Structure 1
């Protein structure tokens, strides 16, 4: 199957999100400080595991998108929503908007883009 330009862009966005989740994982392991009013280092193994899993999943989604796998569309929608929910949990448990803003914006744009009719047709979703 031929890969349209939009799907190629989605693949690179998935790679970007894998990188962002990897950075978040390192922050929750205490290797990188959270930026904001006070530079602090937080260790939270649960959040680190979740973000590490999300980084792996985003890399897997990027591979599926690169191959234009029909299941990639549904999996991309589910993981985008899950990532938005995780960012919301970080916000309500004491995180700042600065820590999750790029992830929220990119995930929301991905979710909006994959719901467009042309993208749905590319993956065989009507």
Structure 2
């Protein structure tokens, strides 16, 4: 199947989000204390596991998008909404906007973009 340029851009954004989630995972493991507003080490195994899983899912989703898999559109919508919910929980539980700003902006733009009719047709079955 031919890959439209929009799907290629979505694949690139999915790789960027995988990278951002991996960085947040490392921050919650205490490996990158110099990034962010909080000085010193912050350790949370739950958040580290959660963001590590999200990083893995984004890599898997990027691979699905690259192959223009028919289920990738629905999976992308679900994971984008899930990632926005996780970012919101992080903000409510004491995180800062600096920690999640790129993730929130990228996920919001992805969600808006994948709802466009041309993108939905690119993943249409048949």
Offset at residue 35 of structure 1 (A): 1.5
Deviations 1:61-115 (A, max 9, x none): 0000000001000000000000000000000000000110000000000000000
Offset at residue 41 of structure 1 (A): 1.6
Secondary structure, in 3 states, of the residue corresponding to 1:103?
helix
Give the corresponding residue for 2:122.
Answer: 122
10-19 vs 25-34, greater mean Cα deviation: 25-34
C-alpha distance in 1, partners of 2:74/2:61? 10
Give the corresponding residue for 2:29.
Answer: 29
Unaligned runs of 5+ in 2: none
What do you get for the CA RMSD once the two structures are aligned?
1.0
Query: Normalising by the residue count of structure 2, what TM-score does the alignment of the two structures yield?
Result: 0.96
Give the corresponding residue for 1:69.
Answer: 69
C-alpha distance in 2, partners of 1:12/1:42? 30
Unaligned runs of 5+ in 1: none
Following TM superposition, where does structure 1 have runs of at least 4 consecutive aligned residues deviating by more than 4 angstroms? none
Secondary structure, in 3 states, of the residue corresponding to 1:69?
coil
C-alpha distance in 1, partners of 2:26/2:2? 36
